Amino acid sequence: MFACVYSGALAGVEASPIEVEVDCLGGLGQISIVGLPDAAVREACERVRSAIKSCSFLMPPGKKWVVNLAPCDIRKEGPAYDLPIATGILVATGLIASEEIAGLWFVGELSLSGAVRPVSGVLPIALACQASGAKGIVVPEGNADEASLVDGLTVYPVSHLMQVMKLSESLTNGTVYEGSRKRSFLSFKTQSPFPRDMSEVKGQTHVKRALEIAAAGRHNILMVGSPGSGKSMLAERLPGILPPLEYDEAIELTKLHSVAGLLTKKSSIVMERPFRNPHHSASVVGLVGGGLSPKPGEISLSHQGVLFLDELTEFPRTHLDNLRQPLESQKVVISRAGQTLTYPASFILVAACNPCPCGFRGDLVKSCVCHPSQAQRYWSRISGPLLDRIDLKVAVNRLTETELSGTNREETSASILKRVMKAVQRQQSRNSRSGGFVYNGHLSSLDLKRHCQLQADGTALLARAASQFGLSARGYDRVLRIARTIADIEGQERITREILAEALRYQLPTTMFK
């Protein structure tokens, strides 16, 4: 008897419908899976056979089972096809009525005892299920909260293959999760402050100002300073002054974390903007993504958040050059012989490094012991094109004794966030696009001409600065983007000479450390 059930196949962070076709033929008693399966899918034969036996079901002896995963030109990876294959076999043998489960999708891994284990990537599959107009989706119990994030989708969690039998008798026999998590997400967003606060950082007012600009306009930033000056401490507090996640952004982030297998039962949705801090010994695959079973890398996992690269000059240059394309396109494209995957990667790059190998070049207390040629080689580890894509460059100086022992109250993250939110609201009304808006840090050249018009004195100042700093065309536009963000923070429509001068101060030439 022929049977067909439905599931989904992942490609990057998106999923497409898969038909699991099962037919019983004459021949040896075995299960053959076709349709471009990987090793994990082919091994499902033994898991499915044992799981069905553990449920005291008998497969017809001396029969060959052919399982076709259609369409056949899409790669099928992972153990999530165990449950749909087992269900298809039970339908083909007449043990499950096909009418009751006709509109359901199935996802899950089977143990040899018939227990259903959680799998990664359930949220994208649930979204594809809803888009296809299916009646609902059957998922492992451990993935139920994740699948219920899809509004309006009926989710049937199961912990054992026997529960699928009960569902086939009547869908009312199963526990139903109706996707409606938006209200609880919005409640969390208004009640959960970021644990690290800017008020904990003494001094460094000019660096905090640069981070405020970075948060308001999504600008990349490089902090250069001696060891212990507070670079890492400042970077860790940047997420606290970023606008809270919107629900659609949280769903997009949760899809990424689901595909990467980072979701837990306690955190089925990503509530906060990510802060990723990969070590400089990370591999290219760990940073960019990919691998034999492609997964998102640190670049994509920092989507809608912060990617912090501490000790920037210690990263291999080839690793850093892989950042250039994502910084421009806000996505990572991984091309392989059999497929091309795209992961979103819209993040704020926060980089930190010392001014020289010993770390004390330009320090007011300790003397630098590096030869100028050593500093030159140190900075040559970072390519010019990458530096040209970093908007804000700021020096982080050692705190003075007065600042260290002072009792002045520092500005809180909540206070800074209010100014950031007002600047973002101005961008939302001015830089609107179909389906959203564009932050100032991503404005095109055409947008800059429209929104960043300068007076005569400002044009003259920028022309002199371009000659003095040797700004490229990208660098020229970068100054205008920063100036536009500063004007939004100050609540001004026009870009004045003073605002432009402040934007130019963040074009710190790295040659001063060489």
395 in a structural domain: yes
The reply to whether 168 and 267 lie within a common domain is no
Residue indicated by tokens 């905090």? 208
**pLDDT tens figures, 78-127:** 999 999 999 999 998 888 888 878 889 999 999 999 999 999 999 999 99
Query: pLDDT value at position 178?
Result: 65
Residue indicated by tokens 């349709």? 35
Query: pLDDT value at position 277?
Result: 94
The reply to whether 170 and 210 lie within a common domain is no
417 in a structural domain: yes
Instruction: State the Cα torsion 462-466-471-474 to the nearest 10°.
Output: 40
The reply to whether 147 and 122 lie within a common domain is yes
Q: In sequence order, which ranges of 132-227 are alpha helices (DSSP H)?
A: 144-147, 161-169, 182-191, 205-217
Report the CATH number at residue 111: 3.30.230.10
393 in a structural domain: yes
Regions of the chain where pLDDT drops below 50: 513-514
Last residue of a domain, one of 149, 178, 207: 178
Query: pLDDT value at position 59?
Result: 75
3-class secondary structure, 64:
strand
Residue indicated by tokens 């100032």? 440
The reply to whether 127 and 223 lie within a common domain is no
Report the CATH number at residue 323: 3.40.50.300
| The total number of structural domains that make up the chain | 2
The reply to whether 151 and 218 lie within a common domain is no
Last residue of a domain, one of 408, 436, 464: 436
502 in a structural domain: no
Do 484 and 440 touch, CB atoms closer than 8 A?
Answer: yes
Q: What is the widest separation between alpha-carbon atoms in the chain?
A: 89
The reply to whether 159 and 222 lie within a common domain is no
Which one-letter amino acid corresponds to residue 318? T
114 in a structural domain: yes
Does the model's pTM come out above 0.95? no
The reply to whether 17 and 83 lie within a common domain is yes
The alpha carbon dihedral of 105, 111, 117, 119 has a sign of negative
3-class secondary structure, 449:
helix
Tokens of 168: 């086939």
Query: pLDDT value at position 118?
Result: 93
Burial class from Cβ neighbours inside 10 Å (0-12, 13-18, 19+) for residue 441 reads buried
Range of the domain at 74: 3-178
The reply to whether 102 and 229 lie within a common domain is no
Query: How are beta strands 154-158 and 136-140 bridged, if at all?
Result: parallel
Query: pLDDT value at position 509?
Result: 59
The reply to whether 13 and 60 lie within a common domain is yes
**Residue 497: how many CA atoms within 13 Å on its side-chain side?**
9
The reply to whether 260 and 158 lie within a common domain is no
Tokens of 165: 């039998």
- R_g over Cα of the chain: 28
236 in a structural domain: yes
Tell me the sheet residues that pair with 66: 23, 32
Do 122 and 258 touch, CB atoms closer than 8 A?
Answer: yes
How far is the CA of 239 from the CAs of 409, 416, 427, 439, in angstroms?
21, 12, 19, 16
- What gap in Å lies between CA 179 and CA 493, rounded to an integer? 43
Backbone conformation region of residue 304, classed left if phi is above 0, alpha if psi is from -120 to 50, else beta: left
The reply to whether 314 and 409 lie within a common domain is yes
409 in a structural domain: yes
478 in a structural domain: no
Last residue of a domain, one of 387, 409, 436: 436
Query: pLDDT value at position 188?
Result: 59
The reply to whether 200 and 338 lie within a common domain is yes
